[in-house]
Amino acid sequence: MIKKILFVFGLALMAQLIVACVICDCPPVKTIYFTNKGASLKNMDSALPQPMIANSGIISSANYGIQVQLLTAQLSLIKPAITWGLMQSAYACSCSDDNFIAKEDILSLKVFSNNDFDVNHPKDADLSSYFKVKKGVTLISIDDYVKSSKDLSYNTRYAFNEGLFLQVKPSIAKKHTFKLIITLSDGRILEAETTEVELV
């Protein structure tokens, strides 16, 4: 009976040894801390193929979106500790991505226009409720997106990168330059503007 147990244990150890001998050349996973320094905005047209960046100054209101690219700066890098042992298993050889951790959270994002949008939203009124954020295949409100990104410890390097999409057509002015104001948890405020776009 003991021989059978030792035999099974030996087989398991040999299988582990064979799997551990696969060389993947994966670099060690690093933890990188960063801070948000600013934002860059681009007009989007959902009728275009990915990445949907629009070069035209005229876009259908039904297709209009804003891509937000957060400009970041690396603060520090923590190198992983070296672990020693008889075996370090590589298994399927899929290398892990580095861990990016923001120094601050995004508390809110507000959208404003330099022109009157409709009777309830004159120039410089908050238009955030008229935009939804693309998250995968769904569109959710800006507030829900910010809340979910905090709850899930979302990697804020790519926050809002899929785009904010307009849900309501302007009824007064057609030409708009949109300004986004992002409030961070450390009290800083990031501002950025789109180029002028005519929404038809």
Mean pLDDT of all residues belonging to the chain: 83
Query: Residue 58 has which token pair?
Result: 């005229």
pLDDT for res 81: 53
Please tell me whether the peptide bond between 49 and the residue prior to it is cis, using omega within 30 degrees of 0: no
- The C-alpha atoms of residue 91 and residue 80 are separated, in whole angstroms, by 19
**Who contacts 89 (Cβ-Cβ below 8 Å, separation ≥6)?**
16, 19, 20
| pLDDT, tens digit, 9 for 90 and up, residues 94-111 | 777 777 778 888 999 999
- Label the pairing between strands 131-135 and 138-141: antiparallel
| Mean pLDDT computed over 83-104 | 63
Coil, strand or helix: which one is 57?
coil
**Who contacts 28 (Cβ-Cβ below 8 Å, separation ≥6)?**
79, 80
Q: Would the pTM of this model clear 0.95, i.e. be above it? A: no
User: Which strands sit side by side in the sheet containing 138-141, from one edge to the other?
Assistant: 99-102, 31-45, 64-78, 164-166, 131-135, 138-141
Task: Quote the DSSP letter at residue 162.
Answer: T
The closest of 128, 158, 151 to 141, measured between CA atoms, is 128
> Which carries the bigger pLDDT value, residue 152 or residue 43?
43
The closest of 100, 104, 99, 90 to 24, measured between CA atoms, is 90
